[in-house]
Amino acid sequence: MSAKAARTALDSRSVPTFLTYLVYALSLFFFLFPVLWVISMSLRQPGEVLSYPVQFVPRDVTVEPYVSVLTRSDMPIWIFNSLKIAVFEVVGIVLVAVPAAYAFSRFDFRGKKPALFGVLLFQMISPVVIVIPMYNMMARLDLLDTHLGLILLYVGLQVPFSVWLLKSYFDTIPDGLDEAARVDGCSRLQTLRYVLLPSMLPGIAVVAIFNFVFSWAEFVMAFTILGESDLYTVSIGLFSFQGQYSTDWRVIAAASVVAMIPILVMFVALQRYFVKGLIEGAVKG
């Protein structure tokens, strides 16, 4: 190959590569800029919030908003409440969705297709549409102003999505593993626990992270069910920082940064399983 042909081939490959990295850079900027802006606002002095021209990097850095959030509010209690609700929600969803997805994937029974269609249909319903019926049901069960009521609602809302996602992972596991386990004397439950679940860990990690983030950020149901300040989740707590006549946006920004930390810690801890689960699900699917 001549030098001119090699240069032409190199140029033909460099243009798509440059455009790909340009899209990556724009996407990264699109997602990171709001986060960096919130961090910048949380470190500003009171007079710099609405000052002009806008300074992205604060001239005088202060941590007073963080001190106010952590010592003069119920933010630590709200974080604990959100962690408790999210953990129990994820555990409940996994306990319900894994056997259900296993049954839909491995068993043939009457009404299987209508049941799958019903699960898919329920998954498409927005929580805003059913918030009033859910409120009435929680009132009749005497579960208003309780974390248990909110956990049960979250489990009911997220099980359809989790079942569909886990079913797709079960479908990628060969049926021969089940048959081999049954030949060795394993029951259905033992086959699920000892043979299939180890292969399902990436998919379960994806379900756990998605549902944890949903519970952490969900506002409508939590605001409807919980009415006492000591029961608030992080999302309601952030909303309560807004005053009727004035709002300290530095405090709201600091509270938002504090609320991001548990999510980031969880994602970093499970990143290996999360990325593996997404890649395996995409390739096998």
Question: What's the CATH fold of domain 69-284?
Answer: MetI-like fold (1.10.3720)
Instruction: Extract the tokens encoding 38.
Output: 């919130």
Model pLDDT, residue 284: 47
Residue with tokens 């605001």: 223
Contacts of 218 (CB under 8 A, 6+ apart): 127, 154, 233, 235
The whole-angstrom separation of Cα 195 and Cα 181 is: 7
Rg of the Cα trace of the chain? 24
Three-state SS for 186-213 is: CCHHHHHHHHHHHHHHHHHHHHHHHHHH
Q: Identify the pLDDT of residue 15.
A: 65
pLDDT at res. 10? 46
Each residue's pLDDT expressed in tens, for the chain with a length of 285 residues: 455 554 554 455 666 777 788 888 888 888 888 888 888 888 888 777 666 666 777 778 888 889 988 887 788 999 999 999 999 999 999 999 999 999 888 888 888 888 888 887 877 877 788 888 889 999 999 999 999 999 999 998 999 889 988 988 888 888 888 888 888 888 888 888 888 888 888 888 889 888 999 999 899 999 999 988 899 999 998 888 876 556 788 888 899 999 988 888 887 777 776 655 555 544 444
Do residues 81 and 233 make contact, with C-beta atoms less than 8 angstroms apart? yes
Q: What is the pTM of this model?
A: 0.82
pLDDT at 118: 82
